[in-house]
Amino acid sequence: MTTIHTLGLVGLGTMGANFARNLGEHGARLVLLDTDRARATRLAQELGPSSKAVETLAALVSALPRPRNLLLLVPAGEAVDQALATLIDLLEPGDAMIDGGNSFWRDTERRARRAAERDIAFLGFGVSGGADGARHGPAIMAGGDKNAIARVAPIFSAVAAKHCDQPCFVACGPGGAGHFVKMVHNGIEYAVMQLQAEIYALLRDRGLAAPQIADAFTRYNAGDLGSFLLECAIRALRAEESGGALVDLIMDTASQKGTGAWAAIAALELGIPTPSLAEAVFARCLSALRDERLAESQELAPRARRATLDPEATLDRCGAALGAANVAIHAQGFALMEAASGEHGWSLDLGAVARAWRNGCIIRSHLMEVIADALAGDPAPLNLLRLPALRREFDAREAAYRQLMREADQQPLPVLSASLAYVDGYRQPRSGANLIAAQRDVFGRHGFARLDRPGRFNAEWPRA
């Protein structure tokens, strides 16, 4: 770390305090501020003479050398706007403030424009890895003014996770690019978690106990299906309480903070199909309707008995489906980033993003290694499914994946189903959308394109 020596840090909750400890260990001098003044004082004492606590934003700005650099680790939304409203009158041209929270990327773009009117850089840094990542090394996705990013890059590269001695830090582009990439990361995260939950529920509903499913997941994780999220699932399945599996006592409802929904909405706005990401969000919404689900299940006639499956064959097919669907999920997420980069002129390097996601972040996995290697040195294709390495990852598991879907009688598997349908749709030489185009012209005279000649056409349609 040679370029930046002092950093202001606002927000010292679990995430902020751990980030401060990480920064301190890498030589940064810190000026600390929190709404809980005692918390800031205690942390400054813990970090030693290189850090000091202040009580106001004005005091923090005064304590920083020019050009000033501030990191905000406060809740997304109003708290960021309030900090910006105060800081914009305290900072000077050339200073930079960094939003390290899970902010909506369009909010980041709005804030960056406002700050730019005063020649102040407002940077949006997506930070993935949770509290443990903040302490020991997260993956960081930086967005905003390239000169300001270059100025702070040395310290953030130093505290980021490392993969083969390379920092998991990537400059994504101007404006809200960094927070957009973090949003897509979270969209992929939602889908992968729902995918694993579907495999878990399928095995559970066919008689496997949590420890047995943990054993199966451990087997998957030891091979090329390994991932941090699968490790988390194994830990959850092995936890015990009162002599039984803790997971069996947890209510089957999953909350969300919005980033998954933002990713699905962004895909709709850009016209990019991401059905697996969207279905993962809808699955969480459906999980929240627990009272309705219970009432409906009691009113309906009992379901037909599910077929008894060969345990070993089913475990193999579940592993194949897990791996193949993961390829489809990641292909959707990367296609969304590629489309956004083109739409907004970000010149996003998807290979660099994949390399930054190899460690520190929540979706780190063996598959990310394959993606990073496949994207090394060559421009990214429009879809990862067009990369030979990713195609092989899917094709090797396809037959077992399809067999599992045929055997999963009456089991709701939204992400598994959507992921397979996505690949089938992407590979389909001729879809049924020509009928939709015709219908739109029948009722709305919207016109249609033809296969046999160029142009836009209307037709005189017969009466039914």
Catalytic center residues: 182, 189
How far apart CA 12 and CA 19 sit, in angstroms, is: 9
The CA-CA-CA angle for residues 353, 356, 362, to 5°, reads 105
How far apart CA 328 and CA 126 sit, in angstroms, is: 24
The first and second tokens of residue 315, run together, are: 């475990």
- Cα dihedral sign, 18-21-22-23: positive
For the chain, the farthest-separated pair of C-alpha atoms sits apart, in whole angstroms, at 85
Q: Which residues are CB-neighbours of 386 under 8 A, at least 6 positions away?
A: none
Of 173, 88, 63, residue with least CA distance to 123: 173
The first and second tokens of residue 151, run together, are: 């100025």
How far apart CA 413 and CA 318 sit, in angstroms, is: 12
How far apart CA 106 and CA 83 sit, in angstroms, is: 17
How far apart CA 342 and CA 299 sit, in angstroms, is: 50
Helix count and strand count (H, E) for the chain? 19, 12
Q: What is the DSSP letter of 418?
A: H
Of 346, 350, 396, 394, residue with least CA distance to 373: 350
| Cis ω for the linkage preceding 311 (within 30 of 0) | no
How far apart CA 150 and CA 3 sit, in angstroms, is: 9
40 — phi, psi (to 5°)? Answer: -65, -40
The first and second tokens of residue 286, run together, are: 């459906």
